[in-house]
Structure 1
Amino acid sequence: MSTSKYAVVDLETTGHSPLNGDRIIQIAIVFIENNKITDTYMRYVHPQRPIPPFIHQLTSIGDEELKDAAPFEKIAEEVADLLTGCIFVAHNTDFDVSFLQKELVRCGMAKWHGKTIDTVELAKIMYPTLPGYRLQDIAESLNISLKQAHRADDDAEATALFLLKAIEKIKTLPKETLNRMHERSFAMKSDVSTLFYEALKHVRGKDTSSDYALFRGIPYLQSKPTTTSWPQPIEFPVDNMAKERVMQKIHPSYHVRESQAHLMDLTWQAFVEKKQIAVEIPTGVGKTIGYLVPALIRAYETKQPVVISTYTNHLVDTLAEEVQKLEKALQMTIPTTVVKGMANYISVGKFEELLHFNDEVYDDSITIMQLLVWLTETTTGDLDEVNVSGGGQLFIDRIRKRSMRVKKDERVADFYTHTLKNCQQSMVILTNHSMLVNDQQRYDPLFHSISGLVIDEAHQMNQAAIRTHQQVFSYTKWKYVMSQLNGLASCQLLFDIQDILKRFHFNHKTSTERLQYSFNEFMLAFDESMLILANSNSTNDNKSTTRTVKPLSKRLRTNEIFDKVLRKMNEYISVTENYAMPIQNLSNELTLHEQAALSEWFYWINEMKIKAGEWIELFLEQPNRSTTIWMEKDSRSLPGSLQIKKSPVNGSEVIRNFIDTFEGETGIVWTSGTLTAGQQDRFVLDQAGLPSSVPLYTFEAPANFYEGAHTLIVEDMPDIQQVSNDEYIEAVADALIQTAVAIEGRVFALFLSHDMLKKTYQTVLDSESLQEEYMLIAQGVSSGSRHKLLKTFKQQKKAVLFGTTSFWEGVDVPGEQLTAVVIVRLPFTSPEEPLFKARSEALVAEHKNAFTHLGLPEAILRFRQGFGRLIRSTDEQGFFIILDRRIDTKSYGQSFLQALPKSLVKKVSLEGLVNEIENCYNE
């Protein structure tokens, strides 16, 4: 039993800096001994200054509540005495310990000294798959009571309950896992090592690995093969009454929706008749269930799986959650396999090798600890499950599975191979578009002998096919690869190989000199080529941005320096291979650390070979008419920002190649909420290369679904084509401020340009109009992924999110969490965007108008997707606010409005916009 006493502390303060006058307003301490809460302490504290409005809103603690509270000077000694001899626990000890230390010193007392445990750090280690590590996130995910967040007493209690839960979980880990984690725990920022030491004492002498398989001493949860026991075939519900009986198992109060019933019939018919159809289904119809039910019945009937593909891995995971809900509702097992690209899965062999290196930084160590825990839990090996830091992502990238070839002992622990085998026994296979279009390139295609294929988010298939076959040169990624095998005295890996050569008495001095000379020659050529690229196209037509996107000219591509780089690179690869050749056949005589170093050496040589192949394709092969190549760079960070991209002009040929394999063999349903673009109703299907014989069905949303949607055109905005960029940004910022105040936050502002987004965000910030009460979240400015930014937005009562392309679609913010979507500019693609330019030129060569056949329909699709963020159910109300006057002044403007679902459209002044919003709320 632990003899440690823990003091779990939480502070609420007026701000982050006691040196600038911020003070504690509430302190709470929860004491834990012998794995039980034994006592609590809470005091309100008078800050002797007003409570800032944001803090009052966050904590619900106001001046009235604190009027009789004592200042911290009166309780400082009491607090210090309580903490004496305790391990200080807090959710982010950097803040609580630091703030408390400064306050104690200010009161004339000594700093507190002792061990600390940061529960943020502990949560990351012990619960590596949590979506977030704020205390609210942890409490919600682990069913821990948190009555009111940002109240010290409630936060301290929730933190204490989490600590107890984490301690119990640590004790359940296999002894082998605990040993490895204890070794690395001393590299953590807080004293979590004490917890692992206590757990090791607890499990000493016990067999804790019986539930796990071992791979080279690493416990992992061995995935069990999927087995399918096919029941008697289920009949498809032909009439509406039968459909209602099935659907009421999923939704007890369900009544037949004609559109959804029709979708089920169309999907079933396509599967049975083995034909292709396309279906546009708006929000509110119940698209996913509408195709899942007939798909499942078809799989049961034929005893062959159905494949459902969507655009991103995140959407694939969302689909998997829908299937799980369906399983529960129908009270049946639906064997389902999620399959993603190979690199999404862990190579357990590579992971084990890297554990033998002793050059870990903090991010490496905490990521390794997360992975050790995760391996005892995961049944998939999908690295998307693990929530790691940005620095940890570099380590994750090193352990991704890169090849089907594995060592003999690794086969049993190869999650990707198990996933592929499970597909053969599944009823439902969920995948992404990239995996789908690449399937025919596999030696043994995965998606064969299937009973049906659903392509959801079908409007993204062309883009997915293009990106799958796109090649990218990134200066920073190349430099990272070179830094791993740089042939210089600073290379730790080189030291390791030299030590092995010395141990076996190989004379390596001459070969080391040759290695370093070859590396320097390669780097001189490479740096010269980067300088040429950085200085090319140095004139920027758009003076308002530092970013340049230009086609890579033929003159530049024929520069002999690119041949020289390849030659020097191949020479260096040859020298590195020869350098370690003397010890390559001595693996049986090498220590585990030496084996790992040798494996790592040849791993990076292989990466260099891959880079050499990329160099040939990007710089030495001449692009044909079906491909285009361009350069992207930012003048503020050269050569670091350099990227060269080579891409197919469109993906229709790639799509046709994989579709041809299914022709006449299985039914295919193409579906999306946005397949039509105004008068060009087959725009998406034409882009994907589908023949006109594929029928297109379009559905309308349920009656009154968009009754709460208000489309407002602000007619006194400046004309974007008549004023400077800065003047337009000032007007946009003003409109956003007034909209946010009228709605009290919950606003998406959708941009096309990162540059305009950042400048608008800064203008709003500088105005200080929203600073006190509103959370401003800007993509590319605020830290975090799209998913993290979206989660932050949802958690705030008053927030404005500034987003670009990725926020125009695939984002679901239900109910009152989102009240307004502001369209800053009509979403036309820039004519200078390389892919768009190449596609436009191809249309002109066919004597077609690039604007009407490409630019306008693309923009209308994106516009519809932006509108789709707003209303997700019949009882929602929202405002779709358009700031770009071209929708009213240009002839094509009506095409945008006509493409929207039927909703109220009004032209208003900026002042009228605020009045209209207030009137809607008062109705």
Structure 2
Amino acid sequence: MNNRYVVIDVETTGNSPARGDRIIQVGAVVVENNIIVDRFSSFVNPEIPIPPFIEQLTGINDEMVADAPLFEEVAPAILQMLEGSYFVAHNVLFDLNFLQEEFENSGYRKFSGPMLDTVELSRVLLLQADSYQLGQLADYLGIVHENPHQADSDAEVTAHLLVQLLNKLTALPLLTLQRLEPFLKKMQSSLEEIVKDIIISKSSRIEDEEGMDYFRQLAIKSFSPVEKEDIGADADVDPQSLLRTLAEEMEHYETRESQQKMIGMVFEAMEDHQHAVIEAGTGVGKSLGYLIPSLVYGKQHDRPIVISTHTIQLQQQLMERDIPILKNILPFPFHATVLKGRNNYLCLRKFEQALDDSYDDNYDTNLTKAQLLVWLTETTQGDVEELNLASGGKLFWQQVKSDSGSCLNQRCPWFSRCFYHRKRREATASDLVITNHALLFTDVKSDAQLLPSYKEVIIDEAHHVEEVVSDHFGVQTDYFVFARLLERLGTKEDNGLVQKLYELTEAAEVTGLEESLEKIALKLPDLKMELDDLFRTLRDYVLEAKKSSMNDFGRVSYRYGEQEGKRVAWQAIMEMSQRVHFEVNDLEKLLKKTVQLCEEKEDHFNFKQKGLVADFNGVRNQLQEEKEKLRHLLWGVNEDEVFWLEVEAKGAKNAVYLYSKPIVIGDMLADEFFAKKNSAVLTSATLSVRNSFQYMTSRLGLDDFGPMTANLPSPFSYDQQVKFMVPEDVPLINEVDQETFVAVIARQLYHIAKVTRGRMLVLFTSSDMLRETYNVFKNISDSDEFVLFGQGIDSGSRARLTKNFKKFEQSILFGTSSFWEGIDIPGEDLSCLVIIRLPFAPPDNPVTAARADKLKRDGGNPFMELSLPQAIIRFKQGFGRLVRTQRDKGVVFVFDRRITETRYGKSFITSLPPVPVQKGLMADLLTDLEGWLDQS
């Protein structure tokens, strides 16, 4: 085995050696037998000026390289080090291409040995890393990185990373390495010999690899089933007394009156079989406020308690922070588990089949197969949220995720190991089942029971319930759903399910199957043509109805109703949809007959063939579901639902999305959910409007139940910790055009940032305005003055943008939509929050407009009863981003003068914790703010 690796990093004047960019620094570290044995580093005179951006990034300037050697002088040393070695780099093609160009220009031969890319290796082996950038991987693995973007430091860190990666590769089970081998051959990195040698070494000294379960040529991490704990006498405790235990056990824990009240109220609601609505301000500690009484009550009555959240982040917080605390202080054992929808879990049957499938034999698919093989040795959950998959990997996941349509259930040899069914069994044996709102209300809608039987539920982040229920009781489909199903069926030639069943015909001699498949293959083009015609006509109809220019960007939405039936163009669409319906019916009959023919011979099939038939039947079921959805969306228009179409003005000709949602969900929730539960406790930091719960209880159908309500104030001293400022010299957006408005707010944001030294979150209600403001601000400020992050501008998830924002001292984060809630930036990382406009929903939003129309028909006031309460709750969420602990201090600027100049605007202020409001010219407000910040 070649155990010599030369890890190289180069700093350069730019990204392209072909365009004349040159190397300015080389760092090299030699690793032999996983030990660093040699180092080399040198500045290099590039003979061209170093651009300012590169100087800022690397800290290397023209003066530092002026007396440095030319590359041709350091080339012999580098080539000598590389002799008989692996060339290793983080993003190897970048460094190697530069070196090859410089070698050739200096008259030396190019490097021709094997290479390793530590980015690629990390993607295969470090599946839960948030990012594969070198600095963030160093943080993840605890490697000290002293001088990022300096070649010697980067090479040193990459060498330590390589050692950890090789150690992890070596530690993989022998069976996993054997299954990995064919996929690693298709990687950029030259891993074949390394893996082959590890396999030989392990084969010569076969040892039991602890913690592994070997089944059907896969190594998966062993899993111990959860047993239901017997109820113990220790469960007969007063929930309030457990807070005293908590204070004694935890050094920095402070008893909070609001938290004590919440514990008592939750326990009382469960004891008295009442529903409750509890607003718990930031800092109350609502998670423990409901977990403690829930666990005590559940143990005393030997019943599981369901906890539902809207976000994955809160589920993780409960499992990683709060549950471990309670395991230390509760006088009885308990088990908590997270249960999600089945599409979140890997189907081992499908994955086993996909490993041997050459369909989509591309780089991304091979990489993802390798990743999942490694992941199986680590995961006991099988949950996709544990993975950091690239876009190509997410496509492969769609092939191997669990679903009901193609599940063999107990006939499957993987059944006892199935991640989804295992989680369901674990949930049945658990005291706490933590799930999400989506699954909670899918369970209400579903014929099959998805959650264990329960009578008590805590709904956290309850301000999202109305939208989640609307989504799950709504209907949606689009062209691409149909296209993907037809693509999965394929034809005889393209390796889809039809072609695979042809092979089955030859292997199992199923009489009549070939004829049936021939008919399917002939039917598919006709159906695809009818679908294309329908969806293209729908798109033309929307663009004509909205008079949209083909130069528009983004989605165009069109709400339609019963009046559409009078239009000739719509009648043509109805005829087309009928043809699609009949075509799908015909295809469905053929698919059903094919499945029946296969099932008659099932006893002669092996497991893989049975799985193939199950997948085929799954596609048939999905096609039937989508047909019924399309039928409802085009033919089932009624006044209780809102129906609308969305198209991409600049998108594909058939890119059409159809939606419907119930306009009011209160009655359905009252009958199908609240009436069937002993106690449902709804909690959030934002449930009240002007100190009343009427809006929320009315929208959710709770009024007839007379729920307990409480507004538990935050323990924070907002009057001391927060400045609330409304500049009077910022125009209202309807007073000027958007370009002028953006120019003014960008300038004002710059003035604020100078005082607060960045550390600012700016919340928008419009992505377009965010982008324009970001660009104007960037032009105003010096390039190195502030570090800017923009949602939709900088790539990455909300969590990644937030993490990057916290890494820099003078940073500013521009956010919209999801940034109004759920992000947690405590301490000095965030000192300033700017709300550009009051967050009213756009009036042309189809759901908002339909709800407003219904309120009008019923004699209500849509603005006061719907738009204003929604905006206030959203505003409270945004306000809550600033103060997260008792030590936080900062300023909130609201650039929308309506908050102080209109009668309804005062409702926003009265819905907040007590905080004084300052109005004035921006210059005066900033003078006051500067003095206040200096005092802290």
1:749 counterpart letter in structure 2: V
Secondary structure of the residue aligned to 1:233 is: helix
Partner of 1:363: 364
Partner of 2:471: 467
CA 443–222 in structure 1, closer or farther in 2 if over 3 Å, else same: farther
| Cα contact 1:23–1:47 (8 A) shared by 2 | yes
Q: Is 1:485 matched with 2:498?
A: no
Identity across matched positions, percent: 30
Q: What is the distance in 2 between the residues matched to 1:768 and 1:501?
A: 70
| Aligned counterpart for 1:433 among listed residues 411, 422, 437 | 437
CA 286–314 in structure 1, closer or farther in 2 if over 3 Å, else same: closer
CA 479–787 in structure 1, closer or farther in 2 if over 3 Å, else same: farther
| Cα contact 2:7–2:158 (8 A) shared by 1 | yes
Q: What is the distance in 1 between the residues matched to 2:747 and 2:914?
A: 29
For 1:585-624, what per-residue CA distance to the aligned partner results, in whole angstroms no more than 9, with x for missing partners?
556767887666555444433332232222222223x233
| Cα contact 1:714–1:909 (8 A) shared by 2 | yes
Shift of 1:466: 1.2
| Aligned counterpart for 2:653 among listed residues 631, 639, 646 | 639
Q: Is 1:862 matched with 2:867?
A: no
| Aligned counterpart for 1:687 among listed residues 695, 699, 703 | 699
Shift of 1:691: 1.9
| Aligned counterpart for 1:409 among listed residues 413, 416, 434 | 413
| Cα contact 1:380–1:415 (8 A) shared by 2 | yes
1:826 counterpart letter in structure 2: L
Counterparts in 2 of 1:786-797, with a 5 A limit?
A: 786-797=798-809
Partner of 1:372: 373
CA 731–668 in structure 1, closer or farther in 2 if over 3 Å, else same: same
Secondary structure of the residue aligned to 1:201 is: helix
CA 696–609 in structure 1, closer or farther in 2 if over 3 Å, else same: same
Partner of 1:181: 180
Counterparts in 2 of 1:94-113, with a 5 A limit?
A: 94-113=93-112
Partner of 2:214: 214
1:137 counterpart letter in structure 2: Q
2:709 counterpart letter in structure 1: L
Q: 631-640 or 722-731, which moves further after superposition?
A: 722-731
Shift of 1:430: 0.8
Q: What is the distance in 2 between the residues matched to 1:268 and 1:579?
A: 56
2:120 counterpart letter in structure 1: E
Q: 285-294 or 16-25, which moves further after superposition?
A: 16-25
Partner of 2:312: 313
CA 179–286 in structure 1, closer or farther in 2 if over 3 Å, else same: same
Partner of 1:519: 524
Counterparts in 2 of 1:72-221, with a 5 A limit?
A: 72-205=71-204, 206-208=206-208, 211-221=211-221
CA 797–104 in structure 1, closer or farther in 2 if over 3 Å, else same: farther
Q: 800-809 or 534-543, which moves further after superposition?
A: 534-543
Q: Is 1:252 matched with 2:267?
A: no
Q: What is the distance in 1 between the residues matched to 2:32 and 2:432?
A: 50
Q: What is the distance in 2 between the residues matched to 1:535 and 1:21?
A: 49
Counterparts in 2 of 1:506-655, with a 5 A limit?
A: 514-538=519-543, 539-540=545-546, 546-553=554-561, 554-555=564-565, 556=570, 559-576=574-591, 600-620=615-635, 622-639=636-653, 641-655=655-669
Q: What is the distance in 1 between the residues matched to 2:112 and 2:86?
A: 10
Aligned Cα RMSD in Å?
A: 3.2
Shift of 1:310: 0.9
2:558 counterpart letter in structure 1: K
CA 301–19 in structure 1, closer or farther in 2 if over 3 Å, else same: same
| Cα contact 1:750–1:808 (8 A) shared by 2 | yes
Q: 50-59 or 131-140, which moves further after superposition?
A: 50-59
| Cα contact 1:149–1:155 (8 A) shared by 2 | yes
Q: What is the distance in 1 between the residues matched to 2:195 and 2:928?
A: 60
| Cα contact 1:233–1:300 (8 A) shared by 2 | no
Q: What is the distance in 2 between the residues matched to 1:575 and 1:608?
A: 12
| Cα contact 1:627–1:647 (8 A) shared by 2 | yes
Q: 330-339 or 852-861, which moves further after superposition?
A: 330-339
Q: 52-61 or 523-532, which moves further after superposition?
A: 52-61
Partner of 2:285: 286
Partner of 2:335: 335
CA 509–326 in structure 1, closer or farther in 2 if over 3 Å, else same: closer
Corresponding residue pairs, total: 916
| Cα contact 2:531–2:580 (8 A) shared by 1 | yes
CA 386–238 in structure 1, closer or farther in 2 if over 3 Å, else same: closer
Q: What is the distance in 2 between the residues matched to 1:317 and 1:138?
A: 21
Q: What is the distance in 1 between the residues matched to 2:80 and 2:281?
A: 63
1:378 counterpart letter in structure 2: T
Shift of 1:572: 2.7
For 1:18-54, what per-residue CA distance to the aligned partner results, in whole angstroms no more than 9, with x for missing partners?
4556544443222111222222223344556666665
Partner of 2:763: 750
Secondary structure of the residue aligned to 2:128 is: coil
Q: Is 1:719 matched with 2:727?
A: no
Q: Is 1:673 matched with 2:678?
A: no
Q: What is the distance in 2 between the residues matched to 1:91 and 1:386?
A: 21
| Cα contact 2:836–2:894 (8 A) shared by 1 | yes
2:473 counterpart letter in structure 1: H
Secondary structure of the residue aligned to 2:30 is: strand
Q: What is the distance in 1 between the residues matched to 2:621 and 2:680?
A: 39
For 1:455-506, what per-residue CA distance to the aligned partner results, in whole angstroms no more than 9, with x for missing partners?
1111111111111222221223332222222447555554444455467788
Shift of 1:852: 0.3
CA 517–38 in structure 1, closer or farther in 2 if over 3 Å, else same: same
Partner of 1:709: 722
| Cα contact 2:239–2:263 (8 A) shared by 1 | no
Counterparts in 2 of 1:441-452, with a 5 A limit?
A: 441=445, 445=449, 450=454, 452=456
CA 9–463 in structure 1, closer or farther in 2 if over 3 Å, else same: same
1:711 counterpart letter in structure 2: F
2:584 counterpart letter in structure 1: M
Q: What is the distance in 1 between the residues matched to 2:49 and 2:250?
A: 52
| Cα contact 1:437–1:654 (8 A) shared by 2 | no
Shift of 1:661: 5.2
For 1:714-745, what per-residue CA distance to the aligned partner results, in whole angstroms no more than 9, with x for missing partners?
32223211333333333333334444454443
| Cα contact 2:548–2:649 (8 A) shared by 1 | no
Q: What is the distance in 2 between the residues matched to 1:548 and 1:140?
A: 43
Structure 2 residue runs of 5 or longer lacking an equivalent are: none
| Cα contact 1:356–1:592 (8 A) shared by 2 | no
Shift of 1:344: 1.3
CA 434–249 in structure 1, closer or farther in 2 if over 3 Å, else same: farther
Shift of 1:651: 2.8
Partner of 2:862: 850
Q: Is 1:829 matched with 2:841?
A: yes
Q: 313-322 or 463-472, which moves further after superposition?
A: 313-322
For 1:202-257, what per-residue CA distance to the aligned partner results, in whole angstroms no more than 9, with x for missing partners?
21151556633334222222422113255432554577xx4553122553133422
Q: What is the distance in 2 between the residues matched to 1:530 and 1:183?
A: 42
| Cα contact 1:223–1:418 (8 A) shared by 2 | no
Q: What is the distance in 2 between the residues matched to 1:623 and 1:284?
A: 46
Shift of 1:631: 0.8
Q: What is the distance in 1 between the residues matched to 2:248 and 2:197?
A: 49
CA 896–94 in structure 1, closer or farther in 2 if over 3 Å, else same: farther
Shift of 1:818: 2.5
Structure 1 residue runs of 5 or longer lacking an equivalent are: none
Q: What is the distance in 2 between the residues matched to 1:568 and 1:717?
A: 59
Counterparts in 2 of 1:758-777, with a 5 A limit?
A: 758-764=771-777, 767=779, 769=781, 771-772=783-784, 774-777=786-789
Secondary structure of the residue aligned to 1:409 is: coil
For 1:406-459, what per-residue CA distance to the aligned partner results, in whole angstroms no more than 9, with x for missing partners?
233121122222212212322221111122223344556465665842211111
2:866 counterpart letter in structure 1: L
CA 371–636 in structure 1, closer or farther in 2 if over 3 Å, else same: same
For 1:803-839, what per-residue CA distance to the aligned partner results, in whole angstroms no more than 9, with x for missing partners?
2211111111222322333222211111111111111
Q: Is 1:801 matched with 2:802?
A: no
